[in-house]
Chains A and B, each alone.
Chain A
C-alpha cells in the first residue's frame, strides 16, 4: 500500500468514528425535534415511530403564536438571553481576574481560596435554595433579572476560575516577561499577551456558563414573581398541568430553546479560532 492510500484509510477511519459519535450525540436531540413535529396520536403511542408519519406544525405554531401561559415565547427567550449573556459577561471578567491572581501570584490564602472554590461547588444547589433566596431578597434583587444574573454568576464562577487558571498557567511566563522587559505595563501585558492565549479557555468556560444560566430552573422559578420576567425553563414547566402533559408543546419549545445556544456556540467558536491565531502571531 502506498502512503497516500494509508493516509486516505486513516482519514476515512477517523471520519467514520466522527460520524458514529455524531449519531450518538444527536439521536436524542433528533428525537426531540422529531417529536415536536409529530401529531399527538404519534406521540401518545406505544408503537415505535422513528420519524413523524404525518408531520405537523401544530406544536411549533401553537408555541410561536399563542405563547405560553399568556405571554409570548419571545418574552421568555429574551429574559433567558439577558440572564445568560449577563452571566457570561460578568462571569468572564471576574473569573479571568481571579484566575490570573491564583495562577500568576503567590499570596497568603491562595491555597485556602483554591480549596474554597472546590468546596462551594460540592454543595448541592437545591440545599442552598432558601438561604440564597433570602440573601437575594435582602440585596433588593428579588423579582429582577439582575438578581438571577448574580445568582448564576455565583454558581458558575468557582468553576470558571478553577478551569481558567489551568489555561492561564499554561501560558509560558516568559512571554509576559518579554513584554514587561519591552516596557509594557502590567495591564497592557495582560491584555495583549495573556488574554489572546487564554481566549480558547475563556470560550470553553463561557459556553459552560451560558448553558448553565440558560437552562437554570429552580432559582428562575423562585426568585422571579412576575410572569413577564420568567425565563424559558420556567415557561417549559407550564406545559405540565395538574393532570396531563403537553409533550408536543414541551418538545417544540425545547427545540426553540436549543437553537440560540447552538447559534451562540457557532459565534464564539469562530472567536476561539481567531483567538488562537492572534496568540500564535504574538507568541
Chain B
C-alpha cells in the first residue's frame, strides 16, 4: 500500500520538474524521486490543510483587527469595513481590562505550565518504573481524567469547590483545627467562597487545568522513555550510577527535545485556556477574572459583535506568546540541529 502511494507521489514530482530530477538523482537510491523534492512532496498534504484552514483565516483575522467589523461587514454582499488603522489596538491598550486580563493570563500560565510539567514528568517516570499491571491501572486512571469532556469537568470542579456542598470545604474542615490554622490561618471553612474573587477562581482553575493536562505530559514522557534504548540504562547500572545521576545524564538529555516541545505546547495551551475559565467564572459577567481569550471572545461574540476589536486582542495574545516562546523559536532558526 505504501509502495502505491509512493508511485503516485513520484508521478507528481516528475511532472513538476523532470529536467532537474535527473541531475539531482543520487545513484544509491533505487526509488525514483530526487532527494531535493522528497520533503516537499511529503509536506504537500499537511501544508495544504494548514494553509487553507489556518493560514488564510489567520490572515483574515489580522486584517479584521485593522477594521471596524461587525456582522454587516462579513455577511454575503457585505458592506465595506471601515479602516481604522491602529485604532482597535490603541483601544485595547487603553482599556483597564487589558492589564487585568494580561496579568491573569500570564500569572496563570506560568504557574500552570510549571506544575503541569513537573507533575506530568513525575507521573511519566513513575509509569515507566511500575510493574505492568500497576502501570496499566494508573494509565487508565489518568486517561479517564484526560478523556472526560472539558465542559463536564469544569462543572464538576465548580461543584467540588462549591461553598456549601463542595467536597473541598468539607475536607478542609476535617483537618485538625490547629493544623488548619497553622497552614491557612483559619479553621472554619464552611461557606468559604472559591468562585467569587479572581484570585481564588484562578486557584481552582490552576487545579482544574493541571488535572486535565498532566495526563498528556505523562503519556508523552512515557512514550519518550520507552524509545530510549534499554542498553543505555544497563550500561549506567553497570557503572553504578545513582538514579538521579541516570536521570540527569541519560534520561533528561535524550528526552530534551520532547520536553522542549511539551514546554512550548503547554505555554500555548495555558495562555489560551478558555472553556474551564468560562464555566468557573460563571460566563462573562466577572470581568476581573477575564483572561485575554475570554475577553476576546466576549468582545467578538456577545452583542454587539465587535469582531475587529476581538481580533485585535487575539493578535496581541498571539504576539505575546510568540515573544515568550521566541527563545525556543530562535534556537530552531539558529541551530537547525534537529536534522540527523
Contacts and interface: CB of A to CB of B under 8 A. Distances in A.
Chains A, B in direct contact (C-beta < 8 Å):
yes
Interface of A: 11, 14-15, 17-18, 21-22, 24-26, 28-29, 31-32, 35, 45-50, 93-95, 97-98, 100-107, 110-111, 113-128, 130-132, 134-135, 139, 150-151, 153-155, 157-159, 161-163, 165-167, 169-173, 180, 183, 185-188, 190-191, 197, 200-201, 203-204, 207-208, 211, 214-215, 217, 232-233, 236, 247, 250-251, 254, 257-258, 261-262, 265-266, 269, 272, 276, 283
Given A14-B130, A166-B261, A101 B38 contact: yes
Nearest to B319: A122
Interface of B: 2-3, 5-6, 28-31, 33, 35-36, 38-40, 42-43, 45-47, 49-50, 52-58, 60-61, 74, 123, 126, 129-131, 134-153, 155-157, 159-160, 162, 164-167, 170, 211, 215-216, 219-220, 223-224, 226-227, 229, 254, 257-258, 261, 264-265, 268, 271-272, 274, 293, 296-297, 300-301, 307, 310-311, 314, 317-318, 321-322, 325, 329, 332-333, 336, 338-340
B39 A25 contact: no
B2 A191 contact: yes
12 contacts: A15-B134, A28-B160, A35-B156, A97-B43, A105-B39, A111-B336, A118-B264, A125-B272, A127-B310, A158-B54, A186-B33, A262-B147
Contacts of A98: 42-43, 45-47
Contacts of B3: 185, 187-188
Given A25-B215, A130-B307, A185-B31, A254 B149 contact: yes
B141 A22 contact: yes
Contacts of A100: 42
A258 B219 CA distance: 18
B125 to A, nearest CB: 10
For the complex, would chain B's binding face be called helix, strand, loop or mixed by DSSP majority? helix
Contacts of A123: 54, 58, 61, 314, 318
Nearest to A111: B333
Chain A to chain B: the 6 pairs with minimum beta-carbon distance, closest first: A154-B53, A131-B57, A127-B314, A185-B31, A261-B147, A101-B42
B144 A262 contact: yes
Contacts of B36: 107
A6 B29 CA distance: 55
A26 B147 CA distance: 11
Nearest to A139: B52
Given A128-B54, A187-B3, A97 B227 contact: no
Contacts of B220: 163, 204
A197 to B, nearest CB: 7
Contacts of A116: 50, 55
A100 B40 CA distance: 11
Contacts, number: 306
B20 to A, nearest CB: 14
B6 A31 contact: no
Contacts of A162: 261, 265
A78 to B, nearest CB: 17
Contacts of B153: 28, 32
A122 B61 contact: no
B50 to A, nearest CB: 6
A126 B293 contact: yes
B54 A126 contact: no
B6 A186 contact: yes
Nearest to A275: B226
Given A26-B145, A118-B325, A153-B49, A45 B165 contact: yes
Q: Which of A97, A115, A125: most chain B Cβ within 10 A?
A: A97
Contacts of B46: 94-95, 97-98, 157, 161
